[in-house]
Structure 1
Amino acid sequence: MLPFTVLTAVAVPLEIAKIDTGMILPGRFMRRHRRPGHDYSEAFLHDLRFDEKGVPRPEFAMNMPAYAKAEILVTDSDFGCGSSREGAAYAVMDYGLRALIGPSFAEIFYGNCLQNGLLPVTLPEPVVHDLWAQLRNTPGATITIDLPNQQVIAPDGSAHAFEINQLRKERLVLGIDDIDVTLEHRAAIDAFEAKRQQAYPWLPNAAHVLAGH
């Protein structure tokens, strides 16, 4: 997982409330097997970004040239509500975004983002509305997210503090996930497996199961 410390990037406003996971990643795209070169980048917010013929909607902010390199999405309230599909977080990341800023996020979606190295930042609604105004007035403007110091620096230079669980923060800064944390205990796991195999030799060895033997 890519470490997240300080990100300064173009930010794009998305002034639509209650965008659910079915809008973030329409179900018809989930039939695809996600792999390098065949990800969910096209699927991300597909029906908002494209019309029924697949033509990009020129009035939609994310299709405007000024926001083409955006890595931060400034959303409205309840972003990620709806189903618990983890693919919604994958779609956000596959599009090239590294962080989201909004007044609120659905709880499961919020957790899925953090689990996959995507930072969702919650700020008060008036602050988010002010960020939208700044981004509209200066398309292509950048926002800085300083995770170690838990601050968002707006285009006008104003600083806004945000809260985040300290364990989640540490994992993002280090770029580690649950698997990495588990593997820190590899020696203890191996010792347990060896002891169990000796005591119960008729049980399959976990390493063999994982290897498909």
Structure 2
Amino acid sequence: MHRLLLLLALVLAAPSSAQSARSLNTEGFRLYQAGKYPEALEKFQAAAQADPKLALAHYNVAATLGVLRKQGQVCQYEAYRETILERLNTSVRLDPRRLTRAKEDADLDPIRDTVGWQRLLGRSPERLADVPEILRRVTWFSPGEGVYGSTRKLTFPDGRRVVLWRRVIEDSANPTRTEEVSGTYTLKGRTLTLSFPGKKPLSGKMTPRGVLEIDELGRFLDSPSECEA
């Protein structure tokens, strides 16, 4: 009996997972305020692990990864756009009020030009009516090519202009050379036609999954290939 009472007392005295998570989150916030972002990230991640239902912890992980991404520390802390969006989506699912904060949070600027962020705002590439807006608001990247990562990027600054950026890797004398060319585009439903000076028009489309498929240029996604070996 005495042993059972002792065990019960220890259980009652032990902090709950929720309490531990809140404490870890508070520690992380203090580190964040002090500009110690890697240390803050570690605390926020521990808080989310201690209590997976703590929306604020997931949100803080997303925001801190956004800061680290801005600082160019993508590979060191896996501050990928997909990871930030995953954490943010979890936070909003647990507490929809987090989306209101996210709309004003500069830490999350690195994901604003993604399909995932457009989905959070209520737009979907599955709806034809949303395709023109998504096309313009997203930055599109080609899949990675080894150590070079994504070598092509498409942006659609307005309802008429398209800009193609590419890294020229076949030039062994200057493998980091880049070039940029502007053109025009038309969009009918999901079908795209791109026109660049001196080139024949290129046809393509946006799939319901939010992927661009362009003749001769290939596939384009809303996140670049990063940190490849």
TM-score of Structure 1 vs Structure 2, range by shorter chain: under 0.3
The higher relative CO (CA closer than 8 Å, separation ≥ 6) is in 1
TM-score for both structures, normalised by structure 1: 0.26
Query: Which structure has the larger Rg?
Result: 2
Structure 1 or 2: more helix by fraction: 2
TM-score for both structures, normalised by structure 2: 0.25
